Chain A
Amino acid sequence: MADFWKRFSRNRGAVIGAAILLIVVIVALLAPILFPQSPWRMVQRPFLPPLTMDQYPLGTDAVGRDVLTGLAHGAQVSLLVGLISTVAALLIGIPIGALAGYFGGWLDDALMRFTEFFQTVPNFALAIVLVAIFEPSIFSIVAAIAIVSWPPVARLVRGEVLSLRSREYVEAAILAGQKNGTIIVRQVLPNTLSPIIVLASLMVATAILLESSLSFLGLGDPNLMSWGYMIGAARTVIRQAWWLSFFPGVAILLTVLALNLIGEGLNDALNPRLARKGR
């Protein structure tokens, strides 16, 4: 563990990323305390520019809602959706990859064709269609993001399992009479953990981008204030009120950047042999 932190902190970008993410997480957790008012409530006159009133440093939107409150509450939505949809994608991708890699043969062929199909289909267009047809809600958004983002997980896990499967310790487990299920869960999967963690951190970033893009198009959960929604609502008034789209965009950019940097740091820390490749 000490080794891990040493290697992780050697990557300057990763440390910066971790610091940014920590701030976003704290803001998201403290949002109900720091900004107890509903982000949907009108608090001032519409189109109040930033830095005109101390109470509302980032100004208000087209109907007089506080931008800063919206940002803080939006952090909750972004992080939550990013995290849950990544977990959901892992829950689809890991079993498919593990089964394909472990059993091989026709099962492998069938599962990989299935995976290929989802990889070929244009991601974002599929997500739009799914959310639109099943009505926008936090559930349909998470499901749609998971459905379009699991294929890389399945391919990664398959590759790892394929190479681990022929290791001696796995053969020993087979000879010892362990069941296939036990071998996969106990012997094989734990050894695929590092690359999965790295991929997952990058997937959270992509999921946040996807969620904000969907919300921007009006496919967000109508009950939740999100960064993408704020930008989408400000799209038509960009000429009068730049700050309405500027600040939420910076929030998305920083959060996604932080996660990408952390992903690279995790890669350095967890796969030290690969880390220096291509640098």
Chain B
Amino acid sequence: MLRFILMRLGKAVIILIAILILNFFLIHAAPGDPAAVMAGEAGAADEKFIADLRERFGLDKPLLTQLGIYLGGVLQFDLGYSYRQQMPVADLILDRLPATLLLTMTAFAISLSLGTLAGVLASARVGKWSDTLISTTALLFYATPLFWAALMAVLLFSVVLNWLPGFGYETVGANYTGFRRVLDIGQHLILPATTLGLFFMAVYMRMTRASMLEVSQLDFVKTARAKGLRPSVIQRRHIFRNAMLPVVTLAGLQAGQLVGGAVLTETVFAWPGIGRLMFEALAQRDYNVLLGVFFVSAAMVLLFNLITDILYRFVDPRIRVG
């Protein structure tokens, strides 16, 4: 087990280094002077600052030396400095990371639970109207642009019905504490988390349904039926448990991709996470922040994958990964 974890960890580190190298070359491939690119849009930084950057990153030295300096910096958690925000990029991201984690985790939980639930319901009623309804809804969610779903949710639930807040992380100026504050954040969380989870909800629903139907054709299920077990027991103990395996694998692989979608959701809902940070960096052409957020979101994807892989080996001893 330890060996397996170490190997996986090694692989993740290699991928992270590859991403850093990619980032490094992106800065150099960008049109214009790398120092100006790192400083933000040309003209935003003063001469002295650019000269400092040149000096620090050895921009007049050979490319490989520069790469070494860059990688060495990241190893010390130095993701560069945001000239625009007057703060180190790592601090900016760490500041915003908890909000994004809360949002993506909630979206993940919502999409996985509702998606599989709907998939199980649909599979139990194949061909009936409720199956058609669930399957059609999944098709629609699957085709809905995330940012548009978010805007429409704001319009309907916040502007028209006035049920839920459609803006921010908590009520500004209310200064709630303790449980009242948790409740307040929870209310603000519902709309962004649900819209972020819509697409994957559709994915899990379709997959659960297909997987349930496939497993229900297998021999051991027939045996269980022949033994005279109650259908609900077969459904729960025999079919569901096995049908969930591919869904869980997929969920683990995709959980990290929610971070990408968070850019859109956080933009619409003014959610103070790293996605919103990326959007702000876009408008300001703050490349250091952009690349930093990209790096951190890739690290999150790898972390999610690693956790699922390990959990998987605990849950299902039949599986020998990698």
Contact = CB atoms under 8 A, between A and B. Distances in A.
Interface in B299-319: 301-302, 305
Contacts of B268: 235
Given A129-B290, A209-B145, A249-B145, 7 more contacts: A124-B257, A124-B261, A125-B260, A128-B278, A132-B287, A213-B146, A217-B264
B156 to A, nearest CB: 10
A183 to B, nearest CB: 32
Interface stretch (A93-101, A114-122, A167-175): A114-122
Contacts, number: 135
- Dominant SS among interface residues on chain B: helix
Nearest to A136: B282
- Dominant SS among interface residues on chain A: helix
30 contacts: A13-B139, A117-B15, A120-B305, A121-B298, A122-B301, A129-B291, A132-B282, A132-B287, A132-B290, A133-B29, A135-B31, A205-B143, A212-B145, A213-B264, A216-B147, A217-B267, A218-B282, A228-B145, A231-B151, A232-B147, A238-B155, A245-B148, A249-B152, A252-B148, A253-B140, A253-B148, A257-B142, A260-B143, A261-B139, A278-B211
Per CB-CB distance, the 5 closest pairs between chain A and chain B, nearest first, are: A124-B260, A249-B148, A278-B210, A257-B143, A256-B143
A120 B302 contact: yes
B96 to A, nearest CB: 14
Contacts of B18: 117
Contacts of A246: 152, 155
A273 interface: no
Interface residues of B, number: 53
A6 interface: no
Interface string B22-33: 000011011100
Contacts of B159: 238-239
B189 interface: no
A122 B298 contact: yes
Contact of A133 (B19, B30, B144): B30
B282 A253 contact: no
B107 interface: no
B148 A122 contact: no
A25 to B, nearest CB: 17
B294 interface: yes
Nearest to A240: B159
Interface in A238-266: 238-239, 242, 245-246, 248-249, 252-254, 256-257, 260-261
Interface string A130-145: 1011110000000000
Contacts of B106: none
Given A121-B19, A128-B282, A249-B151, A217 B291 contact: no
Contacts of A123: 257, 260
Nearest to A208: B145
